[in-house]
Amino acid sequence: MEEQIKDFAVSFFKAMGASHTDHDGLLRVQLTDDQVSEIENRFSKPAVWDFVFSQQGQERFPHAELLQPGSLRMEQLIDTASAKGRLCRRYIIRGSSILRPYILFHFRLIFTGFHRPEEIWPIAIDLHIGTVSDTLYKETKDADWQTTKPPETTILPRKIGFRRAYLLACDNLRHLLQGEDHAWAESAAISLAQEKRHLQDYYRRMSAQDPQRDYQRELKQRLQEQEQRFGPRIMAYPVVTQLIFLSDG
């Protein structure tokens, strides 16, 4: 996921004409007052922004912004890209010159605690009425499209912003996941419980051999590590986001 976000950010700043360097996981961008104002939608001074794309990067560069889905800066970049028509836009014309705006998220699902392949789930939000669209992905995945707004077309106004759309997509994703078969999670939980018992038995034997040493703190830490590494859960990240404008009706 970090690479996709980084690619998006680099492409965005390239399109703006901003000077930038990428060194050792730190993206540094030098922006003019006009460029900062364009992103923040207010009068601003020239600035130098530093970005990282993971928690590990933020630990190495604590002064840098962590750019990730849902963050304020990511929202500003997406909003600016949308307003300026520079990135991630698809226009699909099917007769009508009235275009309905959608945002299409592709979520990457990672299943921990079980050997289940990663999956990509598309979820689309109708920005004009603020609801989930169950059909957009299938309707448009093989359609012909263009990256610039066709002449003599009108785009319906957005009822909701990108932040609200992202939250709606996440809610829909949770709803869909609740209807899935979670037998894999039950199996993973049983395996994890067995591993915890083995670990507790091991430290019980160690404590009997060396009663002067307190193993409880170490045992607690190891149990937490096992839970973090092997506990059944699903991690979901949006890896590709597209604005789609589709003929209405």
Query: 51 versus 8: which is more confidently predicted?
Result: 51
Tell me: pLDDT of 144 over 50. yes
Residue 131, judged by CB atoms within 10 A of its CB (0-12, 13-18, 19+), counts as middle
Summarize pLDDT for 95-132 with one digit per residue, the tens: 889 999 999 887 878 777 666 666 778 899 999 999 99
Query: In whole numbers, what is the pLDDT of the chain averaged over residues?
Result: 83
Residue 99: what residue type? L
Residue 86's pLDDT is what?
46
Q: What are 157-170's pLDDT values in tens digits?
A: 999 988 899 999 99
CB distance 120 to 239 below 8 Å: yes
CB 246 within 8 A of CB 140: yes
* Domain assignments of the chain as residue spans, ordered by start: 2-84, 96-249
Residues 186-242 have pLDDT tens digits of 777 777 777 778 888 888 888 888 887 888 888 888 877 777 666 677 778 776 688
Which pLDDT belongs to residue 114?
65
Predicted TM-score (pTM) of this structure: 0.53
Looking at per-residue confidence, does 248 or 52 come out higher?
A: 52
Tell me, what's the pLDDT at 245?
Answer: 95
Which positions ≥6 away from 68 have C-beta within 8 Å? 5, 53, 74
- pLDDT of amino acid 82: 62
Q: Which pLDDT score, from 0 to 100, does residue 210 have?
A: 82
Average pLDDT of the segment spanning 4-15: 77
DSSP state of 146: B
Please, is 103 exposed, middle or buried when counting C-beta atoms within 10 Å of its C-beta (0-12, 13-18, 19+)? Answer: buried
Q: Are 239 and 1 in contact (CB under 8 A)?
A: yes
Cβ(123)–Cβ(136) below 8 Å: no
pLDDT of residue 157: 94
Q: How far apart are CA 245 and CA 197, in angstroms?
A: 55
**Which has more confidence, 218 or 92?**
92
Integer Cα distance of 63 and 159 in angstroms: 36
**41 pLDDT above the threshold of 70:** yes
Give the residue with greater pLDDT, 146 vs 65. 65
pLDDT for res 233? 72
Report the range of poorest mean pLDDT among 36-45, 60-69, 169-178, 234-243: 234-243
